[in-house]
A and B are shown apart, each in its own frame.
Chain A
Amino acid sequence: MTKATDTLIEEPILEIRNLQTSFFTDKFEVKAVDGVNFAVPKGKTLGIVGESGSGKSITSLSILRLIQNPGKVKGGEVIFKGENLLDKTEAQMRQIRGNEISMIFQEPMTSLNPVYTVGQQISESFQIHQKMSKKEAMLRSVEMLKLVGIPSPERRVKQYPHELSGGMRQRVMIAMALACDPELLIADEPTTALDVTIQAQILELMKDLQNRLGMSIIMITHDLGVVAETCDYVAVMYMGKVVEYAAVKDLFKHPKHPYTVGLLNSLPRHDIDLEDEELQVIKGSVPSPADMPKGCRFAPRCPFASEICRERLPDLEESEDGNQIRCWIYTDEWDGEPEVNVNGERTS
């Protein structure tokens, strides 16, 4: 299997190798993350896209070792700045979380504490990780709120989360996540719950902060528009696996995996009039984890599936352009149509 780093000129700040996380129920094992590989180049943004349940959130929680029972990280490596986070003690992980790696969640209301003021919550991180005094920490909190574009921050630090709008709460979340100047920010659907005009503000803010602070970002989203606008590289996930990893321009211009092609074609766009054409669809739906296909996970829905696809799982292989793809079509072992037209482009 190729390593994710092989394709990248840039040095990765984080590299995931064969990560496996499962949930164990009475009846069977749900392989939520099933051998995931990818790298996040330093100072860049990696997008993770995929349908609901494909394992995006569990991947990010596994990186931070926040998986709870009945879930378990079963194997693999999470190499952050050269060291495997899976070998760290819990005490070491606490130092890393919120300090070197921060996370923003989809639902700001569930991750902000309703009984503390915004200022108290941001201050906490300064007091714990940077050993600041209470007063110093509060002053820094005001600065952080100013940084994320909240008007009259002196007043806002004294307010409780419910007194803020959804967009402002998300800004507070970002302020908290950035308080300790993390090297890596993991943002799980940071704008999904927001209106588009507010989303535009938040994405602009994140880009601006990345430019100024130089952090690396993992952006988890199901929105291909957000990916196109904010990411440098993209990992497409399907049923717990990365099926395609590519530079963002390549992914949108020359998508290779039949699933990626299907996703892009089924997207109704506000900027293009299809006239009266039907949307192209991916047939069927994601199988339940209980009846996981034996070969390629996408085979039951793939228009190109052939004998080998149903029998054997393809590896994530590097293609000529340096991107990575998990599909038999692009290998010498392909036993289907010799010239397949995956996306208006013939392979052979």
Chain B
Amino acid sequence: MAKELLKVTDLKQYFPIKGGMLGRTINNVKAVDGISFTVYEGETVSIVGESGCGKSTTGRAILRLDEPTSGQVEFNGEDLLSLSKRQMRAKRKDLQIIFQDPYASINPRQTVRQVLEEALQIQNVVPKSERDAKIAELMEVVGLGAHQADRFPHEFSGGQRQRIGIARALSVDPKLIIADEAVSALDVSIQAQVINLMKKLQREFGLTYLFISHDLGVVRHISDRVIVMYLGKIVEMGDKKSIFDNPQHPYTKALLSAIPVPDPEPEKKQERIILQGDVPSPIDPPSGCRFHTRCPFATEKCKVDVPELRAEDYMKEGHVGACHYMKEIEEGTHKPNY
């Protein structure tokens, strides 16, 4: 088994809601509420779920872009949360992030060369005399061509700007790249180019990806393992095949069934589970199983008892789900109430 690169244990991220005359904390947004997972060296783990479920917050907490409320984040065996701010900044050489919006994350007044030079200088990984050569190499690696280095971001298309973001992340030879909706804003033809590029770079440089996305088509294509989140918690986690072909949690099933299939006459027509209502607020999440307000299988027990992540004997190794009735639903003895 490959080496553990990132180990997240019981991570919580609460954002205080201030209120009243004294500006006291009157409540908390429980954006991430006790999640644990491991990422092994060289693999791609995706975090999926609907908007607001805590995907980006998880990525930001790992990098300490927001200080997490509690929990542990170990990287290469080292506890990131106990590092000083300065030590953490130095660590960012190993952990890079690529954001969704290539426009917002690049300084528009710098040429691509200046963007990359700055990144190289901050982490001081390459001696000054070799920086030009490194920049040229990076530009070629991401398929932009060295001759484009002196252009400004606005002179590039969205897909090209995303490549600049990737080049910048790669410039410091990171071990782990957290990609937060990195291809979501791109048109499919360009998106495919960037996905292929990311996979190629992973093979060449042995990169590890934590890939955050709401697009399950992209996730199926890029991941080795998948984490499904709902309202700040992990509801299911497993290897890609198990999650897509044998989902166990009712939420994962509903999510997968809701995606429109680009084929008007699909071979196996799947039954769509239409969920009622909206995702509840993470301020006062529902008691018991957080999904019970929308779950077609919910019982009285679900309103009270919190389901823990666990495996049934028929599930593949490493595949876990947090639902009281996985086996009963699988066997058809627990029926949906619609």
Which A residues contact B (CB, under 8 angstroms)? 51-52, 165, 167-168, 195-201, 203-204, 222-230, 248-249, 252-253, 262-264, 266-271, 273-274, 278-282, 285-286
Contacts and interface: CB of A to CB of B under 8 A. Distances in A.
Q: Which of the listed residues A198, A200, A270, A285 has the most CB atoms from chain B within 10 Å of its own CB?
A: A270
Contacts, number: 129
Contacts of A271: 259, 261, 263, 266, 270
Interface stretch (B85-93, B107-115, B274-282, B308-316): B274-282
B241 A270 contact: no
B260 A203 contact: yes
Contacts of B220: 268-270, 273
A200 B258 contact: yes
Interface of B: 50-51, 157-160, 187-193, 195-196, 199, 214-222, 240-241, 244-245, 254-266, 270, 272, 274-275, 278-279
Contacts of A223: 260
22 contacts: A52-B158, A168-B278, A196-B50, A196-B258, A197-B258, A200-B275, A201-B274, A228-B260, A228-B264, A229-B264, A252-B264, A266-B192, A267-B192, A268-B222, A269-B220, A271-B263, A273-B241, A278-B196, A278-B199, A279-B196, A282-B192, A285-B159
B196 A282 contact: no
A285 B190 contact: yes
B275 A197 contact: yes
A228 B262 contact: yes
Nearest to A265: B192
Given A269-B221, A273-B241, 9 more contacts: A224-B188, A230-B260, A266-B188, A267-B262, A270-B219, A270-B244, A278-B199, A279-B195, A281-B189
Contacts of B275: 197, 200-201
A266 B258 contact: no
A315 B150 CA distance: 40
Contacts of B262: 224-225, 227-228, 252, 264, 267, 269
The list of the 7 closest CB pairs from A to B, nearest first, reads A225-B260, A266-B192, A268-B221, A282-B189, A200-B258, A195-B50, A270-B216
Given A200-B272, A273-B244, A266 B189 contact: yes
B278 A229 contact: no
Contact of B261 (A51, A229, A248, A286): A229
A168 B195 CA distance: 34
A269 B260 CA distance: 10
A263 B244 contact: no
A222 B187 contact: yes
B51 A200 contact: no
A52 B187 contact: yes
Contacts of B274: 197, 200-201, 204
Nearest to A267: B188
A196 B257 CA distance: 9
Nearest to B275: A197
Contacts of A274: 221
A281 B279 CA distance: 35
Contact of A226 (B160, B260, B278): B260
A285 B160 contact: yes
Q: Is the interface of B mostly helix, strand, loop or mixed?
A: helix
Contacts of A229: 260-261, 264
A249 B255 CA distance: 25
A263 B192 CA distance: 10
Contacts of B157: 285-286
Contacts of A266: 188-189, 191-192
B263 A252 contact: yes
A70 B245 CA distance: 51
A198 B260 CA distance: 12
B259 A225 contact: yes
Contacts of B221: 268-269, 274, 279
B192 A281 contact: yes
B260 A268 contact: no
B219 to A, nearest CB: 7
Contacts of A197: 50, 254-255, 258, 274-275
A305 to B, nearest CB: 16
Nearest to A247: B264
Nearest to A50: B187
Q: Which of the listed residues B196, B260, B270 has the most CB atoms from chain A within 10 Å of its own CB?
A: B260
Contacts of B188: 51, 222, 224, 263, 266-267
B167 to A, nearest CB: 17
Contacts of B245: 273
Contacts of B264: 228-229, 248-249, 252
A24 to B, nearest CB: 21
Q: Which of the listed residues B193, B241, B244, B245 has the most CB atoms from chain A within 10 Å of its own CB?
A: B193
B192 A225 contact: no
A203 B279 CA distance: 18
A305 B325 CA distance: 57
Nearest to A269: B217
A262 B50 contact: no
Contacts of A201: 274-275
A267 to B, nearest CB: 5
Nearest to A272: B220
Contacts of B215: 268
Contact of B263 (A167, A203, A228, A273): A228
Nearest to B197: A281
A196 B241 contact: no
Nearest to B157: A285
A249 B263 CA distance: 8
Given A225-B261, A252-B264, A286-B157, A51 B189 contact: yes
